[in-house]
Chain A
Amino acid sequence: MYTDLEILLVEDNEGDVEMTRRALRTAKPQCRLTVANNGDQAIKLLQDVSVQPPHLILLDINMPRMDGKAFLSAIKQDETFRAIPVVMFTSSESPNDIRECYERYASGYVVKPFDGVQYANTVREVVHFWGEVSQLPS
C-alpha cells in the first residue's frame, strides 16, 4: 500500500471540492488532496519543483481561465507529466466533450453522479483504480 497518494484535483466549484474531500477523508486517509481552481493554477503547481508530482489528476472541464481540455492538452504534450493518469470528472455528458477528451489522451471520463452517496463511491473507485491498481512502477 502507498503510504501517501498524491492527488491533484483541478476544480473550480467549492461544493465539488468539499464532496471529494469528504469522499476520501475516512475511506482513503493515505491520500493527499491538492486543489487547483483552474488549469493555470494547476500548471503552476506542477512546475513547482518543491512539490511532489501527483500520482493522479482529477480534472473538471468547465472552469474559468484555462479550462479542462486546454490543461489536458498542455500536460499530455509535456515530457515530464504526460505519464500521469488524468481522469475527467465533469457534469457534461456531451458526446463531443467525451470524444475530445479521449482524443487528448484522458485516461478516463467520469460523469459526476447526481446523488451524493454515488458521488463518493465513484471518487473512491476512481482513486483506487487509477491511483493504486494501475500505477506505473517507479
Chain B
Amino acid sequence: MTGRTEYAPAASETPPKILIVDDRPENLMATSALLRPLGAAILTAESGSDALMLVLKHSFAIVLLDVQMPVMDGFETARLMKTRPDMENVPIIFVTAISKEDHFATRAAEIGAVDYIFKPINPDILKSKVKVYLDLYRQREQILKLNATLRQSNEELERFAYVCSHDMQEPVRMMNTYAGFLEQDAAAVLDDNSQRYVTYIRDNAVRMQKMIRDILTFSRVGREEVRTEKVDCNQVLAETLREFEDVIALKHAAIYAGPLPMLQTSPTLVRILFQNLIGNALKFQKGAVPPEISISAQASGSMWRFEVKDNGIGIDPAFSDRVFTIFQRLHRAEEYPGTGIGLSTCKKFLRLVGGDITFTSHPGEGTTFVFTLPAR
C-alpha cells in the first residue's frame, strides 16, 4: 500500500468519526487510545441502545462492535443500525471472543459486517484494518464531493448554453432583417463595396442563426421531458425526404428505403436522426457522383437496428473518435457547411432513451451510420 496518494484533509474539514461499542469501559479506553493517532474523531458507547442513539445523531465512517454484550448483543445492534439508509455503506467490524464457528460467520455476513477482529486484540492488526477503512471512507467522500461539483458545473454549463442561445436569437434576427432592409431600401445609394458588406452581414447572420438553433436543440435534449408516442418511422422518413426534395433533385440523389417499424418512441428524436443522417449523406457527396442513400431497419433482440448507408466521401478513421463530439467539424465551412452539433445531438438523445449510434466507413467509398432504438 505504499506510494498511494494520501488524502490530505483541509484544516476546515471535520474529521471522520469512528464509533466503538463495548460494554467494558476499560476496553473502550484502550481501543480509543490505540486509534487516536489515525486522526479520526472517536465516539464510544457502552451498550447497543447507546450506540443506536449515537447513530441517529452522527454519521460514522466505521463502527467497531463488540459481539458479547448484555441486553442487546452486537448482532442485534448491527441489524438495527443497518435499517438506517445512511448506515448502509458504513463498514461494521465485529470484535469477538467467540471462536471461528461457522454460524457466527454466516450470521455476521447476513447482517452486513465487513470484517472481524478476534480477541485478544492484536493492536497492530486492529490499527491497520481501521486505517484501511478510514482511507476508503475518505476517498469515497472525496469522490462524492467531486461528483457533486462536476454535476453542478455541468448543469451550469447546460443552463448557460440554453440561456445564451435562447437570448441570442433576437439580436441575430434583427441583424439579418435590418441588413435585408438596407439591401432593399438603400440599393440605389450603396456602392458595390457597401452592398457586398451588407451581404457579408446577412450571410453570417444566417450562419449564426443556424448555430444558435442547433445549440438550442442540443441543450434541450435532457432538459426537457422526453415525450413518447406511437411513431411510424416510415412516415417520419417520408416527411424528412420531402424537406430535402430540392437537394435530392439538384444532386440527382437516389434514395432506397426499406420498411421501417412502428415504435413507441420520441417523434422528435426520429426526426432529428433522419434529418442529420440523410442531410449528411446528401452533403458529403463524393465529387459529382450522385448520392445513393439506403435506409433500412431490422429487429435485433429488444432493440431495432437502423442503418443509413451512403456512397459519399467517407470518414477518415483518424477522425472517428471526433465524429460525435460537439463543435467538431472535420471540414472547412466553405467546403461543407455545418455547425458540428448535429451528430452529437443524435448521440446525446439516443443515449437518453437507451439507444446508441456508431458508424463504419471506408474513405472514398461511403459511410454507414447504425443507430439502435428500444423496440418496446
Check if A15 sits within 8 Å of B177, measured CB to CB.
Answer: yes
Q: Are A114 and B173 in contact (CB under 8 A)?
A: yes
Whether A15 pairs with B178 at a CB distance below 8 angstroms is yes
- Cross-chain contact B173 with A112 (CB below 8 angstroms): yes
Q: Which of B206-234 contact A (CB under 8 A)?
A: 206, 209, 216, 220, 224
Which A residue's beta carbon lies closest to that of B181? A116
Contact between B174 and A96 (Cβ–Cβ < 8 Å)? no
Q: What is the bound-complex CA distance between A115 and B175, given in angstroms?
A: 10
Partner among A15, A22, A92, A117 whose Cβ is within 8 Å of the Cβ of B166: A92
CB-defined contacts of B176 to chain A, threshold 8 Å:
114-116
Query: Which of B167, B177, B206, B209 lies in contact with A119, CB distance below 8 A?
Result: B177
Q: Which residues of A contact B224 (CB under 8 A)?
A: 94-96
Question: Which A residues lie within 8 Å of B178 (CB)?
Answer: 15, 116
Q: How far is the CB of B37 from chain A (nearest CB, A)?
A: 58
A96 to B176, CA, bound (A): 26
Contact partner, A13, options B170, B180, B206, B216, Cβ 8 Å: B170
Q: Closest residue to A91 on the B side, CB-wise?
A: B169
A94 touches B173 (CB 8 A): no
State in angstroms the CA–CA spacing of A119 and B224 once bound together: 28
Taking a contact as CB atoms closer than 8 A, the residue among B173, B180, B184, B220 that contacts A91 in the complex is B173
Q: Which of B167, B169, B170, B177 is A116 in contact with, Cβ under 8 Å? A: B177
- B167 to chain A: which residues have CB within 8 Å? 62
A91–B216 Cα gap in the complex (Å)? 12
A46 interfacial contact with B, CB 8 Å = no
- Total interface residues in chain A, CB < 8 Å: 18
| Chain B neighbourhood of A22, CB < 8 A | 181
A19 CB within 8 Å of chain B: yes
- The interface residues of chain A lying within 8 Å CB-to-CB of B173 are 91, 112, 114
Contact residues in A for B180 (Cβ distance below 8 Å): 115-117
- Closest chain B residue, CB of each to CB of A95: B224
How many chain B residues touch A (CB < 8 A): the figure is 17
Residue of B whose beta carbon sits closest to that of A14: B174
> CA separation between A13 and B167, bound complex, in Å?
12
CA A92 to CA B169, docked complex, whole Å:
8
> In the assembled complex, which residues on chain A have CB atoms less than 8 Å from the CB atom of B206?
114
A22, A112, A114, most chain B CB atoms within 10 A: A114
B174 partner, pick from A15, A115, A117, beta carbons under 8 A: A15
* CB atoms of A19 and B177 under 8 A apart: yes
Give chain B residues whose Cβ lies under 8 Å from the Cβ of A119: 177
Q: Chain B residues near A117 (CB, 8 Å)? A: 180
The CA-CA distance from A115 to B181 in the complex, in Å, is: 10
CA distance A115 to B205 in the complex (A): 11
Chain A neighbourhood of B169, CB < 8 A: 91-92
| A70-95 interface bits toward B, Cβ cutoff 8 Å, 1 = contact, 0 = none | 00000000000000000000011111
User: Which partner residue on chain B sits nearest A13 by CB separation?
Assistant: B170
Q: Would you give the shortest CB distance from A119 to chain B, in whole angstroms?
A: 6
Alpha-carbon gap, A91 to B214, bound state (A): 15
Q: Enumerate chain B residues within 8 angstroms of A96, measured Cβ to Cβ.
A: 224
Q: What sequence of 0s and 1s flags, for each residue 136-167 of chain B, a beta carbon within 8 Å of any chain A beta carbon?
A: 00000000000000000000000000000011
Whether B170 lies near A115 (C-beta < 8 A) is no
Kindly state the separation between the CA atoms of A91 and B170 in the bound complex, as whole angstroms.
7
Of A13, A92, A114, the contact of B209 (CB 8 Å cutoff): A114
Q: How far is the CA of A96 from the CA of B209 in the complex (A)?
A: 21
Considering only CB atoms, which chain B residue lies closest to A96 in the complex? B224
Residues of chain A from 30 to 60 with CB closer than 8 A to chain B in the complex: none
- Mark interface residues in B288-332 (1 if CB within 8 Å of A CB, else 0): 000000000000000000000000000000000000000000000
A93 to B170, CA, bound (A): 12
- Min CB–CB distance B275 → chain A (angstroms): 15
A119 and B315 CA atoms in complex are apart in Å by 40
In the complex, how many angstroms separate the beta carbon of A75 from the nearest chain B beta carbon?
24
Q: Could you tell me if B170 and A94 are in contact, using CB atoms closer than 8 angstroms? A: no
CB < 8 Å neighbour of B177 from A62, A93, A95, A115: A115
Other contacts beyond A22-B181, A96-B224, A112-B173: 7, CB < 8 A = A15-B178, A94-B220, A94-B224, A114-B177, A115-B176, A116-B176, A119-B177
A-B contact pairs, 25 of them (CB 8 A): A15-B177, A19-B177, A62-B167, A62-B170, A91-B169, A91-B170, A91-B173, A92-B166, A92-B169, A93-B216, A94-B166, A94-B220, A94-B224, A95-B224, A114-B177, A114-B206, A114-B209, A115-B176, A115-B177, A116-B176, A116-B177, A116-B178, A116-B180, A116-B181, A116-B184
